[in-house]
Structure 1
């Protein structure tokens, strides 16, 4: 398992989230998807979430639209 620190702004407020996943790298668009699920996964409107066919750019655009910006992924020593 790899541990990542996600630093980002949520509606302009700085946030940090720790994420543990099996993959050895975590691209920013995948981190954005995790953050969308974290903040909006329980939302009644499933249209908020990007589809499985969404491109990395589409995922990042949706994240920005929902207030998730300046996402930085850092690999943490495990």
Structure 2
């Protein structure tokens, strides 16, 4: 038996690139290729200890920004 209760949940319906402003909605091919990073800054961080750093960036801007430093491999060889 399953019991249910009513719940209110927020879901992401659109992503906007923090670099170029590209808007994509859930279901677009670009939506699943966005890079979304959340990182809690630790002791000694130049971004301030305890702050949450967030960035949502499209795949094009990600490659433009980090192309020289990217390491690509087949999924089975990534570990």
Kindly indicate which of the two structures has a greater share of residues assigned to helix.
1
Kindly indicate which of the two structures has a greater share of residues assigned to strand.
1
Normalising by structure 1, what TM-score?
A: 0.25
Normalising by structure 2, what TM-score?
A: 0.25
The structure with the largest alpha-carbon Rg is: 2
